[in-house]
Amino acid sequence: MAVHRQPGTVLTDHVFSVPLDHSDPGGERIEVYAREVVAAGREKDSLPWLLFLQGGPGGSSPRPLGKDGWLVRALDDYRVLLLDQRGTGRSTPVNRQTLPRRGDAAAQADHLSHFRADSIVADCELIRRQLLGEDAKWSLLGQSFGGFCTLTYLSFAPEGLREAFVTGGLAGLGVSARDVYRSAYPRVERKNDGHYRRYPEDVEAVRKITRHLAEREVRLPDGGLLTVPAFQSLGMMLGSSTGSHTLHYLLEDAFLPGPGDAALSDSFLHQAQQHLSFAQRPLYAVLHEAIYGQRSVSRAATGWAAQSVRDEFPRFDADRALSAGEPVLFTGEMIYPWMFETDPALVPLRGVAEELAARGDWPDLYDADRLARNEVPVAAAVYHDDMYVDTADSLATARAVNSLRTWVTDEYEHDGLRASGGRVLDRLIRMVRGEV
């Protein structure tokens, strides 16, 4: 195990061998990586463990730079384990380079069926027993999709948890993928409207860029296509604390200055690529709708849910907006089939993405009866009008889970855990302890 020191912290690497399919423990195995973080000088202390599950799907754990962010608060009380969920980060990778080795699209889809929340929780339980012992419990912090995984943990292995904290991640227990996106588009509309009120000059800037892209082929530095829909998908950032401002700064330098035909600047194209490429998190795109599949909700395939309901929201039609003289709206946390044609990191995964979109009868991820009897103390931050997770769904879930308290706030956006510098986590810890 490698051990490193950073300002205020000591980091220890852990690698665990886990079954690819936990129902077949004697079959193929993969590696899952985790980084232990403890405050400097407390390496030998008997501290409770706090497992962190990152958002996603397909997001690797944070790479700390000393005692920073929410770790400032966590390390006061805990020894933290930052898990690279299976397929991400330093765990056995799943991407355009490795998946084709599995065979055809159907074989690749079979492989990816083991990368949802149920398998992640099974990994966590195996790791808990190895690190802490069979009967010891740990605390759990789930951000966004990590909160979805927390609900799965509470459904199937609550005996491993002493307490749980959820930030922006109370999933709807009985909603389909189409339900998710029908409620998401109006929230994204509101975020667009808020952005254009904040930066009214961006209305014409976005219309100008949209017209430019509609009239010619534009390539990003990695060879990917910057189409009108791809440009609209930059709205993904509108749900974060600084996303609207970041988007504005990106737009204001889009075109090269001076006479002659308008041309998008290399700086704009480079920055746009950084936001649009899925090279660092391909599982986010491939599995994004599959994480909502549950046979008790619907045995039907997810079927490109975001695309299938988009026409119900005509304000996102860029051609219509241009012809009507209206603002062109950005989209949000939606994955579309065309992304597997324009992003070089996703092009080789088009077949498996189609296969997953056509697959139905997914196993359930939540046990409503067990959640109703839950005895693990849970505190959850629910962000008012969260762009990524529907607030109404979150509150309905909160009512359905015993021993769960919510803190509903409009002080932070979806990334409040990171942006608050430990204040959100501190509030949840005090809620579980009965101090607030």
Q: Average pLDDT for residues 339-345, to the nearest whole number?
A: 98
Q: Which of 239, 190, 165 is nearest to 389 (CA)?
A: 239
Tell me the per-residue pLDDT of 39-95, one tens digit each, with 9 for 90 and over: 999 999 999 999 999 999 999 999 999 999 999 999 999 999 999 999 999 999 999
CATH of 3-173+366-432, one of 3.90.1150.10, 3.40.50.1820, 3.30.365.10, 3.30.300.20: 3.40.50.1820
Give the Cα separation of 415 and 241 in Å (integer).
6
Give the DSSP H or E segment for 354. helix 350-357
Say yes or no to pLDDT of 190 above 90: yes
Give the Cα separation of 101 and 44 in Å (integer).
43
Tell me the per-residue pLDDT of 127-176, one tens digit each, with 9 for 90 and over: 999 999 999 999 999 999 999 999 999 999 999 999 999 999 999 999 99
Which residues are CB-neighbours of 220 under 8 A, at least 6 positions away? 226, 269, 270, 272, 273, 276, 277
Are residues 244 and 387 in contact, defined by beta-carbon separation less than 8 angstroms?
A: no
Give the Cα separation of 27 and 20 in Å (integer).
7
| Strand arrangement, sheet containing 161-167 | 3-6, 9-19, 29-39, 79-84, 49-53, 138-143, 161-167, 378-383, 404-409
Are residues 58 and 281 in contact, defined by beta-carbon separation less than 8 angstroms?
A: yes
| Residue 324 structure tokens | 């009507």
Its pTM stands at 0.97
pLDDT for 262 equals 84
96: Cα separation from own chain's centroid: 19
Query: Which residue numbers are catalytic?
Result: 144, 361, 414
pLDDT for 1 equals 75
pLDDT for 257 equals 87
- Peptide bond before residue 57 is cis, with ω within 30 degrees of 0: yes
Question: 389 in helix, strand or coil?
Answer: coil
Are residues 106 and 354 in contact, defined by beta-carbon separation less than 8 angstroms?
A: no
The band of 186, judged by pLDDT with boundaries at 50, 70 and 90, is very high
DSSP result, 221-285: TTS-B--HHHHHGGGGGGGSTTHHHHHHHHHHT-B--SSSS--B-HHHHHHHHHHH--TT-HHHH
The mean predicted confidence, pLDDT, of the chain is 97
Say yes or no to pLDDT of 22 above 90: yes
Q: What secondary structure letter does DSSP report for 87?
A: B
Give the DSSP H or E segment for 15. strand 9-19
Q: Average pLDDT for residues 213-229, to the nearest whole number?
A: 97
Amino acid occupying residue 149: C
Tell me the per-residue pLDDT of 405-430, one tens digit each, with 9 for 90 and over: 999 999 999 999 999 999 999 999 99
Give the DSSP H or E segment for 8. none
Tell me the per-residue pLDDT of 32-48, one tens digit each, with 9 for 90 and over: 999 999 999 999 999 99
Residue 138, phi then psi, degrees to nearest 5: -130, 165
Query: Taking the domains of the chain in order of start, what are their residue ranges?
Result: 3-173+366-432, 177-357
Tell me what percent of the residues of the chain surpass a pLDDT of 70. Answer: 100
pLDDT for 260 equals 63
Are residues 202 and 254 in contact, defined by beta-carbon separation less than 8 angstroms?
A: no
Tell me the per-residue pLDDT of 226-271, one tens digit each, with 9 for 90 and over: 999 999 999 999 999 999 999 999 999 899 987 766 899 999 999 9
